[in-house]
Chain A
């Protein structure tokens, strides 16, 4: 049931773009994205609901493909502050109140 995130890790230069994917084998109601910096708590980025629109703020956006049960997180013109581990949390159709989290994608941004 755990969603699969890819890639496991990515190293970028400041200003480059990145895409992080999250795939589930189960039907999803929503996908949640969080970023966790080393030694800190996860911080909410956005929620994508089934039937909803692509979300985004500043240079971070995401999409949700219901047919493929897949979500993608897009980071454009990456900044040093984007470094951290990105997690997707999936809420299954018919399953309330619970998020199932992926193993995370570690993003390293170099100057």
Chain B
């Protein structure tokens, strides 16, 4: 059983560019959450997708947007990249649990470097 996969593993972009990160959830999971993790910090919640809709959003600007496809895979898009966007971007999948947060399975992450 394949776990959560993310692509690409590493990415280097320059300020002002746009980037798309991809995530495939664990088999049987229908919910995808995206996190930003700066070096030495805990993950910061960006948003969560369920049934192709953004269900909850953290404190991130509109430059961060996402999408979920019918097969539950998801994309994270970041426009107008800033140096401060450099971080590890983690995707986590889970299954619905009475409307609350369930055990999350994380992918290996995408390391984004903005120059």
Contacts and interface: CB of A to CB of B under 8 A. Distances in A.
Contact of B42 (A44, A96, A97, A104): A104
Nearest to A1: B59
B42 A47 contact: no
Contacts of A44: 103-105
A97 B42 CA distance: 17
Interface string B33-60: 1000000111111001010000110100
Give the size range of B's interface with the partner.
Answer: 20 to 34
A97 B101 contact: yes
Contacts of A32: 101, 103-104
Contacts, number: 62
A99 B45 contact: yes
A11 B49 CA distance: 39
A32 to B, nearest CB: 7
B56 A98 contact: yes
Contact of A47 (B33, B41, B90, B103): B103
A42 B101 contact: no
Main secondary structure of the interface of B (DSSP, over half): loop
Contact of A91 (B44, B50, B100, B103): B100
Contacts of B56: 96-98
Interface in B1-27: 4
Contacts of B84: none
Contact of A42 (B45, B48, B100, B106): B106
Contacts of B103: 32, 44, 47
Contacts of A99: 45, 101, 104
A100 to B, nearest CB: 7
B66 interface: no
B69 to A, nearest CB: 19
A64 interface: no
A48 to B, nearest CB: 12
Nearest to B43: A101
